[in-house]
Each structure stands twice: as structure tokens, then as C-alpha cells.
Structure 1
Amino acid sequence: MKASDLFVKCLESEGVEYIFGLPGEENSDFCMSLLNSKIKFILVRHEQSAAFMADVYGRITPKVGVCLATLGPGATNLTTGIASANMDSSRVLAITGQTDSHLLHKESHQNMDAITLFKPITKWNWSIRNTDNIPEIVRRAFKISLEEKCGATHIELPQDVAKRQSEILPVKQFPIMRSKPHPELVKAAVKIILESKKPLILVGNGCIRENSSSHIRQFAEKTGICSMNTFMAKGVISDKSERHLQTIGIKQADHALIAMKNADVVIAIGYDLVEYSPKNWNSDLTKKIIHIDFTSAEVDTYYPPTVEMSADVEYTIDAILEELEKEKQENSSIDYPKKEMPELFKQIKQQVVDRIERHKNDQSYPIQPEKLVTDVRASLDDKDIVLSDVGAHKMWIAKTYNTYEPNTCLIPNGFCSMGFSVPGAIASQLVYPEKKVVAMCGDGSFLMNVQEIETASRLKLPIIIIVWVDGGYGLISLKEMDEYGKDAFTKFNNPDFVKLAQSFGAIGYHIKSTEEFPKILEEAKKSKDKPVIIAIDVDYSRNKLLLHDDFEK
């Protein structure tokens, strides 16, 4: 068959459901082949958005998200989203077109070395030169993307190669069984847990990727050990849990950091150091660390594991629980499960909850960040999805949005690229049409991919976009003021958000009072086939709380 047809057949065999992207002259053969495929092509308005959509698809499903761009500027536009997916360990495959292979050695129209460009922002990438290699290359790209730690891969398909013929069939795939932990390491970990006075479970991004939530919840419940999560692991353990101290990840501004600094043992499960440096909680190198992840620990001065278990997370947790139960049967006097929650941890849990709820009845306008977040939380079901963009609002969402299920509060926290939430909401709504999907973004990040409102309107997706309006890049301004006493180049003007929404065929609101917000939010939820944009002015006067935990007691 034609090489582009073979490529598409290989994608079908991998279970690809959607491809997000833009057509171009050099990937036209591939697009023509897609016309005869069951794979749905989602036309976007900018390639960066295609990458963000593939990123979110790869986070909330067990599959690889796929995005497509042409050569040159199409490929370069993908890079921010691909770098973000790779650093956040999201399963993504980027496909780019290329000029005829006989022109690649010299100066030619839009010719650029995309393989070198994508190399540092992917786990693996390759340019197809032989049509008979397509099945192996595609299978390899998917396998590497799915292997822990997950990440992005990239395949380049030159225009002339896409037109050639091949008689090779797609490579069959078989399930992969992951390894179990070594019994001696399990015993060593259990000994440390039983000897500990103030152990803590630190839940990281790896637990979201592998859907390990039920096992980790069971581990926390059966051991009685308190827990907390990074930004990207929100919901792995429910914030309703009495012994869950909620979210950490804002350096010195986390109240929960007090607990981390007082813990004698940290059980780090699926912890990605890119999210939150261990220097913040182990600067004195006094803690015993039990590392549980699919891969070995990153080398870091402040993260020297006492016990390092690189194996399937679910197998490992089950093995530890089994060994703990065996120890309990042999010695009934040991403190397992831990009956008493350390008094300090009780106080921290109560204070975290109090801080979240402190402004829930505040009707002042512009709206307080906590009030905005608690109103959104009250309006949504436990399994509805909120996506945060990057900016000051991201910090407030991470700190104050109660999350009860995994993958229901998505926060990019490795590469931290602005412009993530709107395209991410589109992908989420495609995957889960029955759920309410809310993108929360600042007025800075919203306009970075505002063109995708047309995509959402065309696809008749009722995503809700809440724009936090303050007329500036609030987080940058905050940090400049904190360090220099003044800010520089952070202020801008905004469009009329209502007219902007209407021009895209969406529904638009600009809230004028805090009392109005929950009513408009309920109205927005009634939309069945139109995106809704809600702009609301936000009072950021207490943003210092994001940098200094003691700014407001």
C-alpha cells in the first residue's frame, strides 16, 4: 500500500482515536489517507494548541495523544506544547511533514532540521527514509512514549517517502508485564516505616499517569500514615480524607511544608523532582526517604533514597502492605496501623482547611481568589474536570481547589507553559462529553490560544472558560515586587470579553458582582453545544500569600 496509508494503518493498530493538528502541503498525502480512516482529525487553529490537546489526551486516557503539523513553521509551532508534554511526562506522539528527502542536504523552501530541533524535547525521534521501516518506527515511538517515565516522541515523514509503496504490515503489539520489587527492599522499607514517628506519604505525578490511585488510597488508609500531593497528583488521594494534608509545591508558601519539614520519613510515590525540588523539604539531609516509582530515582543531593524500589507501583504497594501485615501478626504491639495522627499534622490539616474556606462567604468585588475557587468547586461534581493555566491563578487553584478524584484537576507544573488550559479543555470534553469541563486562565494566558474558541464552537463543545481578569501578568509582577520593590512590563489592556466570545459563536459574560458569579456559572452549565466565556475581575491584593506562608495568618 501507499506509505501514508501504511502509516495511518499503524496508528489505527495502536488504538489512535484522534489526531490534533493542521494540514500542510508536505503532509497532504497523510491527510488524504486519514480520509479513509476511522481516526478523527481535529483541525485546530494553531499547532501549539494541537500539542496541548495531545498532551491532555495522553494524561486523561491510557493512550498516546497524537498531533500533526507540516514542516518548518508548523513544526516549530508544535515545540512548546511538545516540550511541556515531555517534561510533564505525558504520552504524546508528534508527527511532522518534511520536504522531499533528496532536498534535505541543501538550502530549500521551509527546509529545517526538525529532528535536531525535537531531540532535546522528546524521549526519541526519527525521520522515515524507508517505507518498509514505517511499522517498526511507529511501534517504537508508541512503546517509548508509554514506557516510564512517559513522555513525547516525534516522527518526521518526508513528502516523497509518503508517496512510495510498501507491502509491510503493522507490527503487532503485546501487553507488557512490569517487574515486582525485590523482597529484601520491601523488608527494608517496612522496617523504616515501623520505626518512624512522623512518616509522610508524598504522592507525585507518576501516580496519576498509571492510575494507581486506588492502591495508594488503600496504602494510606491501611497504614494510617498522613499524606500530601504535588500539583499534578491532585486527587490521587481525596482532599476529603482526614489524614490528607493536601497540596504542596510552592516553595516556602506552603503551610503543609511545615509537616514535610517535621517528618522523619518521606515515602515518595511517583514523585517527579521537576515539580518540586527536594531541597525545599530536605535541605538538612536528615530524612529517610523511601522511593517508590516505576523508574529509579533522579540523582539529586537532597534526594538520597534510603530504600529505592524501581518497580511497578501497584505491586510495590501491595508487597509493602503484605509485609506490614505479616509483621503485625508476629508482633501485635507494633504501631500499625498508626492509630494516632501526630498533633502537629492535625493542626496543619485544620489550618489548611480553614485557609481554603476563609473567604467562601466574602462578597467583596473584585472577587477574592479563594471565593472564586470555592464557588467553582461547589458548582461541579466530584468527577467534573478543571484545567488550570499558568499564572497567579494556578497557585490559588493548587492551594485551594479541593480535588476528590485523579485527573479532575489538571495543572501543568514541569515546563509550565501558558496557553495550556483552553486547548486542554477541548481535548477533555472530546474524551468525556458527559462531564462538565472548566478551563481557568488568567487574562494573560487566555489570549495566548484564544483562537481555539473557534475550534470549540465548530465542534459544538460546551466547555466553560473562566478568565481571571487583573490586566497584567500577575505572577511575574508579584515576584518582581517581592524582589525589587517594583514591577516592570507586566501591564496590558484587555478586549471586550463578551463581544470576543460572541464573535467566535460562543456565549460571553463579564461578571459585575461576586453574588452574580455562582448564578452565571450555573447558567453556563446549561449550555449543550456552545463554549461559554466568563470574565471576572479578581482581587490579587493578597498574592503575597503565594510567596510567604506567614503573610496572612
Structure 2
Amino acid sequence: MKASDLFVKALESEGVEYVFGIPGEENLDLLESLRASSIRLVLTRHEQAAGFMAATYGRLTGRTGVCLATLGPGATNLVTAAAYAQLGGMPVLMITGQKPIKVSKQGEFQILDVVDMMHPISKYTRQISSGANIPARVREAFRRAEDERPGAVHLELPEDIAREETDAPVIPRSRFEAPWASDGSIAAAVEMIEAARQPLLLIGAGANRRQTCRALPAFVEATGIPFFSTQMGKGVVDERHPLFLGNAALSGDDFLHRAVEAADLIINVGHDVVEKPPFIMGRPENAPPHVEEAARAGTARVIHVNYVTAAIDAVYHPHQGVIGDIARSVERLTEAVRPQPHWDFSRFMEVRRHLDVHTREGMDDARFPVYPQRLVADVRAALPDDGIVALDNGIYKIWFARNYRARQPNTVLLDNALASMGAGLPSAMAAKMVYPDHPVIAVCGDGGFMMNSQELETAVRLGLNLVVLVLRDDAYGMIRWKQAAMGFDDYGLTYGNPDFVRYAEAYGAYGHRVESADALRPLIAFCLAAPGLHVIDVPVDYSDNDRILNQEIKARSRAI
């Protein structure tokens, strides 16, 4: 059997449905093997977008997404997507080609040490030097990609190796269960929770797994302990729940931080080192005087519930670990913890009341260009419970994290790890492929959208029914907000844009432009109901970002 055929059979054995990417000369044997397989090649217009799509597939399914590029520039174009998957905990396999390694073909033309390049941004990277090694290399790559914590892996298949003959058999997938936490750690955690006066639950990115998403709502209902989430933990428990206290969208002095200051125990489920907070183990020196002395000193105890032990540093050093399968740990805590009469959640509920008031403000604001709070409210109103919103990276991400109440897991796809621009559209495309019956909206700033806007052609070619909101402020708005907050002059962050309606139509999509705030919600509803790819140009008004996010929230939260 030709080695490239064996490689593809190994991919089929792993259950691979799609390979996203752009082949090159050095991939042609592999491409021919894919043509004769059950795997669908999704040809993209840029390797970075292919990597984002593969990573999002991995995030949503828990199975390894696969992307393909050639050597040299094709491989370097995967670097950002590799880092995106690695920091975001998304299982993805990157396959790159290479010149022959046994006999020189073209000297050093296009040759980089891709394996060495991938070392810092992947869990596993290898060059395949023999066809007989393919089954073991592929099986190990998938094992590493999906093992907690999930991430990026890379295999380089040189073209002369791809043409070799081999009789090596495919190695089947292994079956395994993650270890359970020890009885002693469960008992210690139960004792700490029941002894606490104001326990608080934190839901992090690592909790956004299918089984854990079933276990955590039951824990909340059984114990009545209030909860909050990180940005990548959104939706694990329905955020309409009366015990939901908000999202860690801002680094400090949001309403949520007043609840964290009051807590004497934080149950941290699925903490991921790349995400906020670690502020749970520290308190601002200028905390309001009515906050308990113990809280101001940052002495709240922390239980770390995760697959792996915590990496200890100056800002995160939990007091008790519950290490093992997270879902099973949460189930066992649910069975064992008994609500206590001395628990006092009144402070948390006060925070919740103030949060609710603030997040309702601006929801029906009629100003135009569209106000961010109105935008978030209209997108939420347009989508059903299982609707998916895929966010690119920009200042609007903070508004969505704070104000958009996610109702189901993984229905808000945002990147708060690498926080890369350009991922919104490819992520939405992958989400639509995984869940074709769910309505999907991509929300992109004009800056991030233009970084991978060429994938409109891919989406049209794939026949995806998708809505893309392009939030137009003609600037890199997130950095402009930070620039203003630091007292600097407005400089170096504005640009021009194409006519997005005509731009969409040039790719075969439908283009729309919002002319008033009141027109936004019905237009989104129309586009969701209509077939095809719809791009909506939405002018946005970010003029109040600095006042609200840097000043108003801080003042109002400190007054609680």
C-alpha cells in the first residue's frame, strides 16, 4: 500500500470527516489518497482560516479537527491557528508537506524546519521519516490532541515518504476513561464547601465539555450556590438562571468583582491558565470598606476541580485540588454536599440585582450608529436557545461577554486565550458545518473581518446558510478604547473600508446595510430565515466605551 493511502486510512480510523486546507505540490500524493476516501476536503482561501475551522470543529465536537498545508509559506500560515488551538484547548491536527528528505530535489527552496517551528505552539510535532511509522505517529498525534488539556499537534509528511510502499497496519483508536478524583479529595472539598459561609462557583473553559455541561446544572440546583463564568465558560449553565452573577469580562471593578470579594470559598471548576480570572485569589487594595476584612486580604479559599493539578504561581495557588474527570467529580460533589443553614448569599443576590439593572440599560437605545448594548440585545432576541454566535476579537467581545446571556453550552464561540483577530468568520463556518440545523451568526469588527474575508467565497461554495454582522467603526476599536483609557491622543488606528454590501455581492453572497437602530433586529431575523450567506454592514457607536467600561461600571459597582 502506498504510504499516503495508509495515512488517509489512519485518518479514517480516527473518524475524521473533514480536512480543511490548501494543498501544495508536496501534498499531491496525499490529495489523491483523500480523493478516493470517505473524508471530505474543504478547500479554503487561506491556511489560517483552515486552521481556525479545524480548531472550532475540535472545540464543538471534542474530536480532533484536521487541517492541511504545504511546506514553507503554507506551513507558516498555520502558525496563528496552531497557537489559537493550543491556547484555546481545542484538539487539532496540522498536516504539512515537505520536499523529499532522502534525495535533494531543489536545494533549500521553500524549506524551513517546520517541526522545530511548531514545537513551542503544539503538544506534539514530528516528521514522518518512514511509511511504516505512519500508524503509530497518527494514533499518537490524535491521542495527544484530545488528551486533557486538548490542543494542537503537527505531522510533516515529506513527498518521498508519501510515495513509499508499506504493509504496516492501522492502529485502532484506544478506549480509556479519565481517572477519578480520590475519595479523600472529594471528602476534603465537601467539608470546605459545607463549612464556608459564602461559597461561590466559578465555571471556566475546561468545564465546557459535554459531560460536565450536564453535571454542573445539577450541582447548582442541588446546592443553590451562586455561580459566574469566564468568557470561554459561558453557557455551561443557562445564564438566565437566578443564581448567575455575571461573566469575568473585565479585569476588575465590575459588579461581579464585588461578589468575588465577598466570597470566603471559591469552587473553581475547569480553570484554564490562559483565562481570567486569577483575580479570585487577590483583592484590590481599595476594596470598599464594608467588604469583610478577610476578603480584602485575599484570603478566600479556593478548590481546584480539574483534570490536572494547578500550576502554582503568585496569583493562583489553590488550597485543595479535586483532580480527575471533571464531570464525575462534580457529580460526586452534588451527591455529597448538603446545603447549610449558615450559608449567606444575600451579598451575591444584591450584586445580581445591580448587574441586571445595568445590563438592561441601552437595550432599546435608538441612537444610530447602533449602540453596543442595543446590538447585543438584538442579536440575543433574534437567536433561539440553540443559536450560535461566533465572535471575532474586538471591543464588542466585552459587551457580548457581559450582556449576552448564553442559554446552552458552546453557543457563544469567542477566543479569550490567544484572542486572535480573523477567527470569527471561519469559526462560524465550522459551527454551521457541525450543526447545520442551528442558526449561526458571525459577529466581526471591520478590522477582523477583513483579515479573513476571502472565506466568503468558501462559504458560498459550500452552500452555508450563515449571517455575518460586520461592525463598522472604521478603526481598530479595541486598541482605540485602550488608547483613550491611557490618556493618549487618538492616533494611528483609523482606516478606510470597502462598500461591504457590494463586497459581499462580489463573492456571490447577499449584502445588506443597516440604516437605523430599529431596522437591525428585523433584518437579522429576515437573513436568518432566508437561505444563503448574508453579510450585514452595521455602523456602530463606540463613543461611550471609555465612559461606561472604564468609569461608570467602576463607580457603580463600588457603591454597592
Q: CA–CA distance in 2 between the matches of 1:259 and 1:291?
A: 19
CA deviations on 1:260-298 (whole Å, 9 max, x unpaired) are 122111100001121114146524441201000011112
CA contact (8 A) 2:16 2:66 kept: yes
Match of 1:307 among 316, 320, 329: 320
Match of 2:308 in 1: 295
- Return the letter of the residue paired with 2:540: V
Alignment of 1:402-551 (within 5 A): 402-528=405-531, 530-544=532-546, 545-548=548-551, 550=553
Corresponding letter in the other structure for 2:183 = P
Identify if the C-alpha distance between structure 1 residues 406 and 98 changes in structure 2 by more than 3 Å, giving closer, same or farther: same
Correspondence 1:277-288 to 2 at 5 A:
277-279=277-279, 281-283=281-283, 284-288=297-301
Matches within 5 A, 1:38-187: 38-102=38-102, 107-187=107-187
Local SS of the residue matching 1:268 = strand
After superposing the two structures, state which structure 1 stretch, 245-254 or 173-182, moved more.
245-254
Counterpart residue number, 1:4: 4
Q: Report the more deviating stretch, 98-107 or 539-548.
A: 98-107
Task: Give the one of 346, 350, 354 matched to 1:351.
Answer: 354
Q: Alignment partner of 1:461: what SS?
A: coil
Name the counterpart of 2:36: 36
Aligned to 2:292: none
> In the TM superposition, what is the alpha-carbon distance from 1:324 to its structure 2 partner?
2.3
* 3-state secondary structure, aligned to 1:63: coil
Superposed CA RMSD in Å reads: 1.6
Q: Could you say if the C-alpha distance between residues 93 and 296 of structure 1 is closer, same or farther in structure 2, counting changes exceeding 3 Å?
A: same
Alpha carbons 2:69, 2:75 under 8 Å: kept: yes
Q: Aligned-pair distance for 1:541?
A: 1.4
Cα deviation digits, residues 157-178 of structure 1 (max 9, x gap): 0010000011011101232111
Segment of structure 1 superposing worse, 499-508 or 484-493:
484-493
Give the deviation of 1:300 after TM superposition. Answer: 1.6
- Counterpart of 1:188? 188
1:103 is displaced (CA, Å) by 5.6
Distance 2:114 2:254 in 1: 41
Cα deviation digits, residues 77-135 of structure 1 (max 9, x gap) = 01101101100010111000011113679951100000011110001110000111100
Which whole-Å CA distance do the structure 1 matches of 2:351 and 2:544 have between them? 21
Conserved 8 A contact 2:85-2:152:
yes
CA distance in 2: counterparts of 1:128 and 1:175, whole angstroms: 25
Superposed counterparts of 1:327-342, under 5 Å: 334-335=340-341, 342=345
The alpha-carbon deviation at position 335 of structure 1 amounts to 3.0
Q: CA deviation at 1:450?
A: 0.3
Unpaired segments of 5 or more residues in structure 2?
A: 284-296
Matched residue SS, 1:386: strand
State the Cα distance separating 1:404 from its structure 2 match.
0.5
Shift in alpha-carbon separation, 1:457–1:253, aligned structure 2, 3 A:
farther
Q: Work out the CA distance in 1 between the residues paired with 2:410 and 2:316.
A: 27
CA distance in 2, matches of 1:236, 1:441: 23
Q: Could you tell me how far 1:527 is from its partner in structure 2? A: 2.3
Does the aligned pair in 2 maintain the 1:289–1:303 contact within 8 Å? no
Mean alpha-carbon deviation: is it higher for 92-101 or for 483-492? Answer: 483-492
Give, in angstroms, the shift of residue 482 of structure 1.
Answer: 1.1
Write the deviation string for residues 21-48 of structure 1: whole angstroms up to 9, x where unpaired.
Answer: 0010001111110011111110000000
- How many residues are aligned here? 542
Counterpart Cα distance in 2 of 1:178 and 1:280: 27
**Which residue identity does 2:54 align to in structure 1?**
A
Match of 1:248 in 2: 248
User: What CA distance in whole angstroms lies between the structure 2 residues aligned with 1:413 and 1:138?
Assistant: 29
Match of 2:405, as an amino acid?
Answer: N
Shift of 1:258: 1.4
Inter-partner Cα distance in structure 2 for 1:289 and 1:143: 31
Q: Tell me, in whole angstroms, the C-alpha distance in 2 between the residues paired with 1:552 and 1:517.
A: 31
**Partner residue in 2 for 1:273:** 273
Q: Give yes or no for contact 1:251–1:280 (8 Å, CA) kept in 2.
A: no
| Deviation larger for 130-139 or 247-256 | 247-256
Separation in 2, partners of 1:442, 1:214: 33
Question: Is the alpha carbon distance of 1:422 and 1:211 closer, same or farther for their aligned partners in structure 2, counting shifts above 3 Å?
Answer: farther
1:321 maps onto 2:334 in alignment: yes
Aligned residue type for 2:185: L
Greater mean deviation of Cα atoms: 316-325 or 11-20: 316-325
In the alignment, residue 60 of structure 1 is paired with which amino acid? L
Q: State the TM-score, normalizing by the size of structure 1.
A: 0.95
Taking a change above 3 Å as real, the CA distance of residues 105 and 253 of structure 1, as seen in their structure-2 partners, is farther
2:383 is aligned with 1:380: yes
**Counterpart-to-counterpart distance in 1, 2:554 and 2:312:** 34
Encode CA deviations 1:287-325: one digit per residue, 9 max, x unaligned.
201000011112222221111121011121122223325
Contact 1:462–1:531 (8 Å) recurs in 2: yes
Deviation at 1:214, TM superposition (A): 1.4
**SS in structure 1 of the partner of residue 334 of structure 2:** helix
**Aligned runs of 1:180-259 on 2, under 5 Å?**
180-259=180-259
Comparing 201-210 and 138-147, the one that deviates more: 201-210
Q: Which residue of 2 aligns with 1:369?
A: 372
Give the secondary-structure state (helix, strand or coil) at the position aligned to 1:505. Answer: coil
For 1:225 and 1:104, the matched residues in 2 are separated by 65
Question: Structure 1, residues 134-157: CA drift from partner, whole Å, max 9, x if none?
Answer: 000000000001100111100000
Question: What is the aligned partner in structure 2 of residue 331 from structure 1?
Answer: none
TM-score by length of 2: 0.94
Contact 1:254 1:549 in 2 (8 A): no
Q: Identity of paired residues, percent?
A: 37
Runs of 4+ more than 6 Å apart: none
Partner AA of 2:252 in structure 1: Q
Partner of 1:212, secondary structure, is: helix
Alignment correspondent of 2:24: 24
Structure 1 residues 36 and 281, CA, compared in 2 at 3 Å: closer, same or farther? same
CA contact (8 A) 1:249 1:275 kept: no
Counterpart residue identity of residue 456, structure 2: I
Instruction: Check 1:253–1:448 CA distance in 2 against 1; reply closer, same or farther (3 A cut).
Output: farther
Q: Please state whether the residue corresponding to 1:258 is helix, strand or coil.
A: helix
The gaps in structure 1 that reach 5 residues or longer are 329-333
Verify the 8 A CA contact 1:200 1:227 in the aligned structure 2. yes
CA distance in 1, matches of 2:242, 2:104: 61
